[in-house]
Amino acid sequence: MKTLLVRAGAILSSMLIVLLLDSCVDTTQANNKTDSKMDVAASNVVKAPKKKLSEAFKSYWYEGNAEITSYSLEQARYGELREGHSVLIYVTEPFLPKKQVKADGHNADNVSVLKLNATKKYLTGIYPYSVMSSTFYPVHDNQHAIKTSLSMQEWCGHVYSQINNREQFEFTSHSYFESEADQQVAVEKHPLENEIWNKIRIGPEDLPTGTSKMIPSLEYIRLRHQELKPYAVEATLTEDNGIKTYTLSYPELERTLSITFTADFPHNIEGWTETFKSGYGPKAKQMTTKATKIKSIKTAYWGQNSNEDVVLRESLGL
């Protein structure tokens, strides 16, 4: 009897294992179908030939450190200038083009990107603004940014938006405003203003110039409550005494952005100005936001997270 029970138990266990395996196969097949769709979307992304990385580029960007640069900030908001600071953090990292996230480890499909995390902090009266954008741009400069995102927090609420580069640009946005709320729309592909900051550091000689269309930064779209779409733009690149200035003028938006950077590699960004209409109603007027470089350092900041590392902020003037 005992032997029969053992055999019956073994048979039931085998059946259970088969059922579990069948379930796993079904799940895998479903996942494969989803992954297949993402693979197709990824394969349809138009890419130019990869540009060769110079030895100077490899030496500067693959030494295991990030570049952190601080700026004093005069930010136009609600028709007045606000004092604050901005920080640009550039670092290279492996990126998964299908999942569109940073890779946890080595993978044959990894794409090396130059990531820019750009932050701003300033006060509007009693309450603070905190703004951060992230842009992931291939170091080989052969396609648009794979992803760019924005988060913004202030006491009225917080918002988040993101653009994913697939067959089209897939724009997702979440806002506390009723008129904007949750959005998911496809956008025709044109150069992204957000990716310009990465292109400058990789190859400014290939920045788009002349009259064309460009998608303004997610920050500007958010602050001015504009529709995310390509707008006509006039782009110019000039040089004076070793400093280059890249200027974007959007006639329809009555907005101009100028970024200054060193002509020689590594093309450090020295500052920028952005002129646009600030404020609403009677207070609305053309104003200019200005950022001026304070200090730049190279360091592995992700490991500097103890209380004694707080002094490092002083070296950046923060």
pLDDT digits (tens, 9 = 90+) for 206-254: 999 999 999 999 999 999 999 999 999 999 999 999 999 999 999 999 9
**How confident is the model over 95-137, as pLDDT tens digits?**
999 999 999 988 888 999 999 999 999 999 999 999 999 999 9
- Give the side-chain half-sphere CA count within 13 A for 56: 7
What pLDDT was estimated at residue 125?
Answer: 96
Q: What percent of the chain shows pLDDT beyond 90?
A: 75
pLDDT tier for residue 70 given thresholds of 50, 70 and 90: very high
What pLDDT was estimated at residue 44?
Answer: 59
| pLDDT at residue 283 is higher than 50 | yes
How far apart CA 4 and CA 7 sit, in angstroms, is 5
- Average confidence (pLDDT) over 299-310: 94
pLDDT tier for residue 79 given thresholds of 50, 70 and 90: very high
**How confident is the model over 163-213, as pLDDT tens digits?**
999 999 999 999 988 888 898 999 999 999 999 999 999 999 999 999 999
What is the reported pTM?
0.84
What pLDDT was estimated at residue 13?
Answer: 42
DSSP readout, 152-221? EEETTEEEEEEEEESSSEEEEEE-SSTTTSEEEEEE----BHHHHHHHHHH-GGG---EEEEEB--HHHH
What does pLDDT average to over the chain? 87
Is residue 212 a contact partner of residue 235, using CB atoms and an 8 Å limit? yes
Q: Which amino acid is at 248?
A: L
29 or 223, which is more confident: 223
State phi, psi for 200 to the nearest 5 degrees: -60, -40
What pLDDT was estimated at residue 3?
Answer: 42
What pLDDT was estimated at residue 212?
Answer: 97
| pLDDT at residue 307 is higher than 60 | yes
C-alpha 226: how far from chain center: 19
pLDDT tier for residue 6 given thresholds of 50, 70 and 90: very low
List the domain boundaries for the chain: 54-315
What pLDDT was estimated at residue 282?
Answer: 78
- Give the side-chain half-sphere CA count within 13 A for 243: 10
What pLDDT was estimated at residue 22?
Answer: 37
Torsion 128-132-165-188 (CA) sign: positive
| pLDDT at residue 24 is higher than 60 | no
What pLDDT was estimated at residue 178?
Answer: 82
**How confident is the model over 265-279, as pLDDT tens digits?**
999 999 999 999 998
